Chains A and B, each alone.
Chain A
Amino acid sequence: SQQGEEDPQALSIQEGENATMNCSYKTSINNLQWYRQNSGRGLVHLILIRSNEREKHSGRLRVTLDTSKKSSSLLITASRAADTASYFCATEGQGAQKLVFGQGTRLTINP
């Protein structure tokens, strides 16, 4: 069963706009990670946020974590055509000893 669920399933925006993707999960976690996957390629790690953190930044990426709501969001600012990809959240549940991936959000940046 999936632990993390991304929302929306697909998102299409204009270049330069901001893109926000959300992830909800069901059980307590140690950390939550976001990955990007370009078509036909392996996943690439973006950010890891631990359960005692609320916000992390990396370049144009901003991730928030609300453990009370069991949710996280990934914000990509000033989007570029190269940001077109699928984005996955993955959670490490407490005591679960495994990383569980959501089904992903497919992001399309239109030039």
Chain B
Amino acid sequence: IAGITQAPTSQILAAGRRMTLRCTQDMRHNAMYWYRQDLGLGLRLIHYSNTAGTTGKGEVPDGYSVSRANTDDFPLTLASAVPSQTSVYFCASSRQGWDEQFFGPGTRLTVL
């Protein structure tokens, strides 16, 4: 692995289903983030983690949960997907705080 990876690349999901988006980085960065990107609304922060074992809520956290059991992984879970969660999801990491962020390639999620 080189940098930050996300899986799956894309997914079509029925409303009401549970879904976990995976994110892994190998840069030993302390901080990790989840964003969603929607046309006309730019990039919005869902949840973040400044260090392993801690998480925080971003601008649009409702309907999403995260965990940070170790430095490398930061999964995002949709407990019961709704159509408004159709979006492109980006995971990012940074060495510390709110410095330069490195982004994954994104997951395109469609909820029907």
Q: Does A30 contact B (CB under 8 A)?
A: yes
List the one stretch of B67-75, B79-87, B99-107 in contact with chain A. B99-107
Known A41-B105, A42-B106, A43-B90; contact A48-B40, beta-carbon cutoff 8 A: no
Contact indicator A43/B100 (Cβ below 8 Å): no
Which residues in B have their C-beta under 8 angstroms from that of A103? 40-42
Contact indicator B42/A42 (Cβ below 8 Å): no
Chain B, residues 84-99, CB within 8 Å of chain A (1/0): the string is 0000001010000011
Q: Does B56 contact A (CB under 8 A)?
A: yes
Q: How many angstroms between the C-alpha atoms of A26 and B94 in the bound complex?
A: 24
Contact indicator B98/A104 (Cβ below 8 Å): no
Contact indicator A48/B90 (Cβ below 8 Å): no
**Residues of chain B from 1 to 33 with CB closer than 8 A to chain A in the complex:** 33
Least CB distance, A86 to chain B, in whole angstroms = 10
- A-B contacts besides A88-B43, A98-B58, A99-B45, 8 pairs, CB < 8 Å: A42-B92, A44-B103, A45-B100, A45-B101, A48-B99, A98-B48, A100-B59, A102-B42
